[in-house]
Amino acid sequence: MSNVTLVDVFKHRITQKYLQRSGINHAVTVACYAYDLSLEEEVDPDLATKSALLHDMGHYEWYRDGKWDYEEYRRHDIHAIKGAERAHKLLIRLGESRTTAKEVSLAVLLHTDSYLPFELKGKRTALQEVVRKADEKDEQPQGLHHYKEMDKSEALKILHQLDLAVAKAKKMP
Ligand SMILES: [Fe+2]
């Protein structure tokens, strides 16, 4: 079993830096959805929740006149590519195995195909599909889900509960 927890991942300064941009609320909410979906789909809940928590860490903001220009952002978006690289680097630094780091990195890379010139429908693994579905459940038009608020202390409380649930689920036969 992995001894790197969601709380460890969340507290790291790299996560703190990048999750501020895409929104802590969205990341934590998607991790909760991914946990539920992972049990339904019989996917490793540890991989699913870590991938979900980090899925948008490649995001950057695209401001114009003090406002985020969502259309402009979409046109130049490569957040899944950046996120995949950042998630991998972060997990390796935290002592995660290279196998886990790669699985999570791929789930981040493929959680959306909005930046690709082709569709990924039907091509994702079960884990990648869980992360895509969990993200979709929290999405709002015009990227508004990135602006929902959540205190760091509230996020830590939820993630600690998720860590306990993941540890328990992994012990089940
Ligand atoms: Fe997202």
Query: Is the pTM value of this prediction over 0.85?
Result: yes
Distance 93 CA to ligand 1 centre (A): 23
What are the tens digits of pLDDT across the range 108-157?
999 999 999 999 999 999 999 999 999 999 998 877 888 888 999 999 99
Distance 52 CA to ligand 1 centre (A): 8
Distance 3 CA to ligand 1 centre (A): 25
The mean per-residue pLDDT over the stretch 80-98 comes to: 97
**CA separation for the pair 34, 48 (Å, rounded):** 6
Distance 26 CA to ligand 1 centre (A): 7
Distance 143 CA to ligand 1 centre (A): 9
Say if CB 28 and CB 53 are below 8 A apart.
yes
Rounded to a whole number, what is the largest CA-CA distance in the chain?
55
Question: 6-171: which CATH topology?
Answer: Hypothetical protein af1432 (1.10.3210)
Q: Where are the domains of the chain?
A: 6-171
